[in-house]
Structures are given as structure tokens and as C-alpha cells.
Amino acid sequence: MKRRRRPAPPARPLGGLASHFTREGTAKNTYRTETEAREAAQLVWTLNGADLNAYRCDHCHQWHIGKRFRDD
């Protein structure tokens, strides 16, 4: 019997959904509050040294963490 493979995630999600996926195509974690998101970002910085920012998503209105962008 042949195994069915799961379809690969799209290379770049369309529209506003792009903020819900990482570059690898996996879903981003969501946080209910800004405090939860900031604590998660702090933990990532402590463990990996990655400087992440908590931000409210315009699409799902929950919180995500992501790379900081410079204000030029």
C-alpha cells in the first residue's frame, strides 16, 4: 500500500496570512497577551541571544514574536 504524503506548505503564504508562518512554513506561536509574548521573547533572548519583538497581529488580533526591525 502506498503512503500518502502531506502536501508541502506554500513557499510564501498569500495575503495577510504571511505573518502566521515562519520562513520554514511552520505556523508561528500565538500569545493571548502582550505580557506572554514579551516573556517568550525574553526567554528566546536568554537561551539563544535572538533579539525578538512582541507585536499584535492585524489578522488574528493575537500576539506573535518576531525579529526586530530598525527604524531608519
In a domain? residue 62: yes
Cell digits for 19?
A: 505573518
Helix (H, G, I), strand (E, B) or coil at 60: coil
Question: Using the 8-state DSSP alphabet, how is residue 53 labeled?
Answer: E
Q: What is the pLDDT of residue 47?
A: 94
Could you say which residues of the chain have pLDDT below 50?
13-14, 72
In a domain? residue 10: no
In a domain? residue 53: yes
How many domains does the structure of the chain reveal?
1
Q: What is the pLDDT of residue 58?
A: 84
Helix (H, G, I), strand (E, B) or coil at 21: strand
Cell digits for 23?
A: 520562513
Neighbours of 48 (CB within 10 A): 9
In a domain? residue 2: no
Q: What is the pLDDT of residue 13?
A: 47
In a domain? residue 18: no
Q: Using CA atoms, how far apart are residues 13 and 16, in angstroms rounded to an integer?
A: 8
In a domain? residue 40: yes
**Confidence (pTM):** 0.64
